[in-house]
Amino acid sequence: MERTRRFHITPARREAMWAYGLISPWIIGFLAFTLIPMVASFVLAFTEYNVIQPARWIGGDNYQGIVTDPLFWQSVKVTLTYAGLSLIPSLVLGLALAMLLNAEIVGLSAWRTLYYLPSIISGVPVAVLFGFVFNKRFGVLNWALDQFGIRGPGWLSTPQWALPALAIMSLWGVGGGMILYLAGLQGVPTTLYDAAKVDGANGWHRFWHVTLPMISPVIFYNLVLGTIGTFQYFTGAYILTDGGPNYATWFYNLYLYRNAFYYSKMGYASALAWVLFLFVLILTLVIFRSSAAWVYYEGQLKGGRG
């Protein structure tokens, strides 16, 4: 009788067992593919490791080498420049499309689907497609410019134009942010627009004083995700330019990849990965701290408590 009572499973315990059983695939995946590799890379960042030979502890030499590495600074410069060229235009274009598709027009669902579909296509096909678009001899873009008497440049073969070309290509995926903006716009109460009209506000005033504050949480969300994604950019540069011409598209992640899988400098690549992680973390925290001044939530004023 005592033994039977001891092994009795209560409903609460059974529910907990089911819960842990159902989330165990995620826990195993997180441990195997995220946490353990992160811990391993943190340790490897203090070693010299080429995969073939055992890792050799060298302390902070990898980080000292990063500071004096000119290719590291070139990759930082390229990545920051790309962020400036692509992030803000993507946010603005996504919002502009969302506002257009928030209006009452014929075939609204079809237009929304049409603008959203490109964002779900993976990076490699998009890079191959734009390789034809930017081709100097028979590319669609140079052909279109030629119709206006403008001689198009070698987009991917000229150092001055290679990075802007990749920034233009990034606009292909604005549909993802557009959908989020659209959801935010549809959540703005129409009574606010009506009140603004009664007060004599024109279209620009309604946009600036009603629309932007009400969708500022969505702008904040897209800004954070866009910033993180921009500093992890890799596919387009790897497929189209491989860092060239003349290191004009020498992105940080491309440099990290080359150290890891071209030169087998796993320890140095791990140190680069942690530098990137810390930089993106600090930048994200700065954006979060700045949100108190410009992100509005209902019941709050400029991020403060109402």
**Residuewise pLDDT in 10s, the chain (306 residues):** 445 555 678 888 899 999 999 999 999 999 999 999 999 999 999 999 999 999 999 999 999 999 999 999 999 999 999 999 999 999 999 999 999 999 888 888 899 999 999 998 878 999 999 999 999 988 999 999 999 999 999 999 999 999 999 999 999 999 999 999 999 999 999 999 999 999 899 999 999 999 999 999 999 999 999 999 999 999 999 999 999 999 999 999 999 999 999 999 999 999 999 999 999 999 999 999 999 999 988 766 444 444
Residue-level pLDDT at 1: 46
CB 51 within 8 A of CB 267: no
Please state the separation of Cα 88 from the chain's center in Å. 12
Task: Look up residue 238 and give its amino acid.
Answer: Y
Residue-level pLDDT at 299: 63
Specify the 3-state DSSP secondary structure of 99: helix
Q: Is the dihedral of CA 63, 271, 221, 173 positive or negative?
A: positive
Report the 10 Å Cβ neighbour count for 55: 15
Strands 56-57 and 47-48: antiparallel
What's the CA dihedral at 82, 83, 85, 90 to 10 degrees? 130
Residue-level pLDDT at 306: 42
Contacts of 59 (CB under 8 A, 6+ apart): 46
Q: How far apart are CA 176 and CA 116, in angstroms?
A: 6
Q: Which domains does the chain have, with CATH numbers?
A: 2-44 (no CATH), 69-305 (1.10.3720.10)
Q: How far apart are CA 105 and CA 233, in angstroms?
A: 36
H helices of the chain, where? 2-6, 11-30, 36-44, 61-67, 70-100, 108-116, 123-133, 140-146, 159-170, 175-186, 190-198, 203-206, 212-230, 235-240, 252-257, 266-294
Residue-level pLDDT at 9: 81
What's the CA dihedral at 211, 216, 218, 221 to 10 degrees? 160
Residue-level pLDDT at 7: 60
Strands 300-301 and 304-305: antiparallel
Residue 189 CA neighbour count, 13 Å, CB half: 6
Q: How far apart are CA 288 and CA 292, in angstroms?
A: 8
Residue-level pLDDT at 106: 86
Contacts of 70 (CB under 8 A, 6+ apart): none
Residue-level pLDDT at 108: 87
